[in-house]
Amino acid sequence: MLGRIPHLWPLMLDFYSAKERGGAKAKGVKRVCIPNRSTKARTQTRTEKRWFRNGQKWRTGCEGRISVVKRRHGLNRCRYKGEADEALVGLGVIADNVINIGRAMEKKSRT
């Protein structure tokens, strides 16, 4: 990854398992945000208040950003393989960042 252990690790409901949660904790992740389908113990519910909800919001925000990049820059399907595919995705993300920076600068100049 990036050479360090993340402080917060949010995942989707489909990835929940005791093994997954325990593995992340064993590697040093302090807060694992994986929702559980079954009922939670009272102690688990107390510890997963605000930080758990914020972790899930962060995850859904990332998914929304990915969706926008796919729609805006035509990254739904890539016919290239290997390094060309990675370069195309990277350029799509950079293009989206430039658009967002431009919007923020325009908004700031109006105020």
Over the stretch 24-75, which tens digit does the pLDDT of each residue have?
A: 778 888 887 777 666 565 555 655 677 887 888 888 787 888 888 888 887 7
Residue 34: the pLDDT is: 73
CB 13 within 8 A of CB 55: no
Residue 65: the pLDDT is: 81
Two tokens, residue 76? 């739904």
Residue 90: the pLDDT is: 82
Residue 106: the pLDDT is: 94
From the list 30, 27, 20, 25, the residue with the least C-alpha distance to 52 is 30
Residue 42: the pLDDT is: 57
For residues 56 and 47, give the distance between their C-alpha atoms in angstroms, rounded to a whole number: 15
SS3 69: helix
Residue 64: the pLDDT is: 82
pTM of the model: 0.51
Q: Are strands 31-33 and 8-10 parallel, antiparallel or unpaired?
A: parallel
